[in-house]
Structures are given as structure tokens and as C-alpha cells.
Amino acid sequence: MSTRDTAAKNWDDREIGVRPEIPRNRLPNQKKQIPKARPRAEIEPPLKLEIVQAGNSVLRQLARPLSLAEIAGKEIQNLIEAMRACMREAPGVGLAAPQVGLPLQLAVIEDREEYLKDAATEYLRERERRPVPFHAIINPALTEMDDDKVEFFEGCLSLTGFSALVPRARRVRVECLDEQGRKKTIEASGWYARILQHEIDHLHGGLYIDRMHTRTFTSAGNWTEFWKSKPISEIRKTLDIGSV
């Protein structure tokens, strides 16, 4: 999911210890020589991921769940960090594994404070948007907590340059595993709940265009020119959109 309604803009490798072999002819009182740690780039080069665009079949597949052994393994841990770097570079507030070509039940989320610093107070209040620290969700199951729906323009890193008005549940509960494979329950409202719903849709082969009010689908440029400054109620009336 992009950083704003349309498209608003660390690698942390694990150290791998090296245990040297002790020469057979070493005397008992010889001091053990500990090799210097190698630079991280020599241990494991960072993955360079590319975000796939709508039309790629992986975005329409049901992603498979990950096992605890897979989550603990080097490949998935490296993938999580690579997805974090890719999401920040985009920039976005969420990125699902299918968006980088991998049909896995994994997504990363982070709504950084710097993305919000220039936003108007009313804009943030209306969307209930607050900073969200980085985390991963794995094998998530989402439940809407009530019937309350809200509508805002939404963009996607896999639909670059477009946006649409999308109705979503205001409050959700997500049961998932975190990046360490621990069970986790998330209760979210507002913009965080929207991000969770958007990313979990990706894990089930969904895109926001499946849920959007089709009459509101717009390029980023036209959204800025015609709709950005208008309240949602006025947009609905102008475009003759029915009730949620």
C-alpha cells in the first residue's frame, strides 16, 4: 500500500558466528585465536526485490502459509528485511510477498512518523492515522469487529499511478504470527486497519480495484487536480455513488 491515499514517499542482517577449527597440533596453553567478524555484506548480500504490477498472475493467486521452521530460517528472515527495504524505497506503508513475486502468506507494515509530519491535522484525524512501527504479519486471519465502514481513496504499489475510493471496515482483529513465529493478536482501527485489510487482500489474490467504487478510479494527477481537496461526501454526490 502506498504512503498516502494515492502515492503520498535497513538492512539488518543477522550476524553469523564463525567457529574456527582448532589445529590438532595446538598446545593446551596456546591462546585461542578468534577471527575478526567479516563485514555483513560478505556474509549475506541483501536481496534486491522488484514490485510486480497488476496483470502479473502472482497477484491473483492464493498465497501459501509458512511453517514455523520456514519462518525461523535464514531465507524468510532475509526476505522480511529485504521487503522492509523495498517498502521504504518505494515508498509505501505496506508490502505483501505476492507483490514481489512470491505467493507466501507474509506482509510487512510500517507507517512512519515522517510520512505524517506535513499532513493537515484534520486529514489525520478524519482517517484516524497514526504512526505504526515496523512489523511483519504471517498467516493472518482477519475479522471485522463491527459493521462500521469508512471510505477513503486508496493506492497500491502494484497499481502505480492510480487511486480509487474504497470502503473498508473501520475496526478489525487480526490473528497471525509475527516475524519470530510467535502468535499475535492485533486490534486496529482507522488507517492501520485499512493497511491490514489491504495487505491481507493481497495474500488472497485480491486488489483494491475489486472493492473500489469504480466511478472513482483515477490517475494520481487527476486525483490531485479534481478530488484531493474535496470531502468524501461531496465526491460521492458528484459521482452519484450510492450508500456504503
Sequence-distant (6+) residues with CB within 8 A of 83 are 49, 95, 97, 100, 106, 108, 136
| pLDDT by 10s per residue, the chain, length 244 | 876 554 443 323 322 232 333 333 333 344 444 444 433 333 344 578 999 999 999 999 999 999 999 999 999 999 999 999 999 999 999 999 999 999 999 999 999 999 999 999 999 999 999 999 999 999 999 999 999 999 999 999 999 999 999 999 999 999 999 999 999 999 999 999 999 999 999 999 999 999 999 999 999 999 999 999 899 999 999 999 976 5
Judge contact between 184 and 177, C-beta under 8 A: yes
DSSP letter, residue 62: P
Distance in angstroms (rounded) separating the CA atoms of residues 64 and 84: 20
Q: Which of 15, 199, 225, 234 is catalytic?
A: 199
Burial grade of 100 (CB within 10 A; 0-12, 13-18, 19 or more): buried
For residue 135, the cross-strand partners are 109
SS3 73: coil
Burial grade of 161 (CB within 10 A; 0-12, 13-18, 19 or more): middle
Judge contact between 78 and 108, C-beta under 8 A: no
Extract the C-alpha cell encoding 214: 469504480
SS3 92: strand
How many angstroms separate the first and last alpha carbons of the chain?
22
What is the per-residue pLDDT for 12? 33
Give strand ranges (E) for 30-131: 94-96, 106-111
What is the per-residue pLDDT for 46? 53
What is the per-residue pLDDT for 25? 37
Distance in angstroms (rounded) separating the CA atoms of residues 232 and 187: 26
Tell me the DSSP string of 131-164.
Answer: -EEEEEEEEEEEEE-SS-EEEEEE--TTSTTEEE
What is the per-residue pLDDT for 244? 56
Can you count the helices (H) and strands (E) in the chain?
A: 7, 8
Judge contact between 84 and 179, C-beta under 8 A: no
What is the per-residue pLDDT for 62? 98
Task: Give the H or E element holding residue 172.
Answer: strand 171-177
Q: Set out the domains of the chain in order of their start, with CATH numbers.
A: 47-238 (3.90.45.10)
| 50 belongs to the catalytic site | no
The CA dihedral of 216, 218, 224, 225, to the nearest 10 degrees, is: -90
Extract the C-alpha cell encoding 159: 497499481
